[in-house]
Amino acid sequence: MPQTDTATETVPAATLYAWQRRAQRHLADLIEHGATLDLPPLLWTLAPNGNLIGTADGIGFTPAIQRETVRRWADHVGARVDTEYTTDGREELYAGWKDDERRTRGCFRATILVHREVPQPGNL
């Protein structure tokens, strides 16, 4: 059965676990590639449907590092980075990818608080 975005109640648990196990094996390889190629570490999430989400958010990630991290991982898998600017001052980066051979897919993403790049009074 191909991987879908169908609600989990219509997909048998055994199928969801099979998708997650397949993605877990792929994740192990991605982490190994990242270490070998000196890519920045990501926060990884494994969704119930087997999608892998690599997030470049958190302590120690400046806006410039977030952009560079998403770009480098996207380049690694041949994905394009899309950028969206929200009305509340966020920059959302998203690079979706699909690996037909492994039958896995996922994305690299970051939420950048653009106001953090502007020097604030007292932080100069």
- Indicate the SS3 state at residue 117: helix
Would you state the pLDDT for residue 6?
Answer: 54
* 34 lies in some domain: yes
Helix, strand, coil percentages, rounded to 5, for the chain? 35, 25, 35
How many domains does the chain fold into? Answer: 1
Tell me the pLDDT tens digit for each residue of 41-94. 999 999 999 999 999 998 788 999 999 999 999 999 999 999 999 998 899 999
Higher pLDDT, 88 or 118: 88
- Asked if residues 44 and 96 have their Cβ atoms less than 8 Å apart, the reply is no
- The residue ranking higher by pLDDT, 22 or 4, is 22
| Residue 16: domain span | 8-117
How far is residue 1's CA from residue 18's CA, in Å, rounded to a whole number?
10
Q: Looking at the DSSP assignment, which residues form a beta bridge with residue 111? A: 92
Whether residue 3 lies inside any domain: the answer is no
Q: Which residues contact 98 (CB under 8 A, 6 or more apart)?
A: 104, 105
**pLDDT for position 124:** 44
Q: Is residue 103 part of a domain?
A: yes
Residue % of the chain over a pLDDT of 70 = 85
**Quick one: pLDDT at residue 121?**
45
